[in-house]
Homo-oligomer: A and B are copies of this chain.
Amino acid sequence: MSTMKKKIKISIQGASGYTGGELIRLLLNHPLCEIVSVSSNFNSGKKISDIHNDLVGDSDLIFSKEIDKNVDVIYLCSGHGKSSAFLKSTKIDKEVRIIDLSQDFRVDNLFEDRVFEYGLPEINKSNILNSNNIANPGCFATAIQLGVLPLISANSNSKEIHTHAITGSTGAGLKLTQTSHFSWRNNNVSWYKPFTHQHLNEVYKTIEKKYNINFIPIRGNFSRGIFCTSYIKTDLDIDFIYKIYFDYYKDHPFTVVSNEEIHLKQVINTNKCLIHLKKVEGKILITSIIDNLIKGASGQAIQNMNLMFGLDETTGLKLKSSIF
């Protein structure tokens, strides 16, 4: 670190939403980064702590109408459809790295002469290292893929995967809707978009549609986290499957395979994906859990940036506390 001459300069476009706020929260303490500008259509002129209240006392950043484009990295956090619109209307120097947190470039990954690499380091690290543009994965897509990819790469007896994932309310963003109202959601459970959630598109791209994923997303009554279970028929032995998973993730510091049963809060406020495996009656049950805002969004985006800049991928992402 001591030889590092200057910090990575960063702009965050659309920084008043949840993923933008989370990026600020994490990057303010990243030892090798400096946030240069944060933009917001509706909140320009306000202090970041006016919107992200926990940052009071931590920074004097003010939302601007437009980001400073003379930086090393631009994070795009305006939401689906808006990243491509932004790139169309804005000239960005080729040298500037872009990390997009929307779904705009996860499947069709070309924009003019920019190629967006799919930013799931556990399966795509070598390409990320050499990339200038990252399509950061969706939260469900992260939890599902990290759960099932090792197994399906080892082949199984069935092409049918059965996946349920319960997500926290932050997955739905800060928009005020009936289902985000506290009186409604407190102590409540419901599903949405069963079998058709848009994150399946990026998963199918990765697995080349060789498997069918029956996926039911559930709204949970908590703020952070995704608890994902996937099962599939297999004749493989549980010890062998564990070995596959340990091998698959041995060079990936954030994805941890546990022999013990796991529960969602183990990963809250971390960039970890925690995976547990259990074989019952000819089926392997894979449980994979993440914090949807960190490993499922902004933490993974920073992990990708670290890789792109040749840093240790855990830099600035070892924050802790919070199991409760």
Chain A residues at the B interface, C-beta cutoff of 8 Å: 2, 18, 21-22, 25-26, 28-29, 50, 52-54, 56-58, 162, 164, 166, 168-170, 174, 176-178, 180-191, 194-196, 214, 216, 218, 220-225, 227, 229, 231, 256, 258, 260-270, 272, 274, 278, 280-281, 283, 285, 287, 293-294, 299, 318-324
Contact = CB atoms under 8 A, between A and B. Distances in A.
30 contacts: A2-B2, A26-B320, A53-B265, A54-B267, A54-B270, A54-B322, A57-B274, A58-B320, A162-B214, A169-B186, A181-B182, A182-B186, A186-B186, A186-B324, A187-B225, A187-B265, A188-B222, A188-B264, A189-B264, A190-B227, A191-B287, A194-B280, A195-B285, A214-B231, A216-B231, A218-B227, A224-B324, A269-B269, A299-B321, A322-B322
B229 A54 contact: no
Contacts of A274: 56-57
Q: List the 9 closest pairs (A to B, CB-CB), nearest first.
A: A57-B256, A176-B176, A190-B263, A223-B324, A319-B319, A187-B222, A54-B323, A189-B227, A182-B185
A45 B52 CA distance: 41
Contacts of A220: 189, 220-221
A169 B183 contact: yes
A267 B270 CA distance: 17
A185 B182 CA distance: 7
B323 A25 contact: yes
A321 B323 contact: no
A24 to B, nearest CB: 9
A181 B54 CA distance: 16
A163 B320 CA distance: 31
Contacts of A164: 164, 216, 229
* Among A196, A256, A266, A322, residue most surrounded by chain B Cβ atoms (within 10 Å): A322
A268 B268 CA distance: 13
Contact of A180 (B162, B181, B221, B258): B181
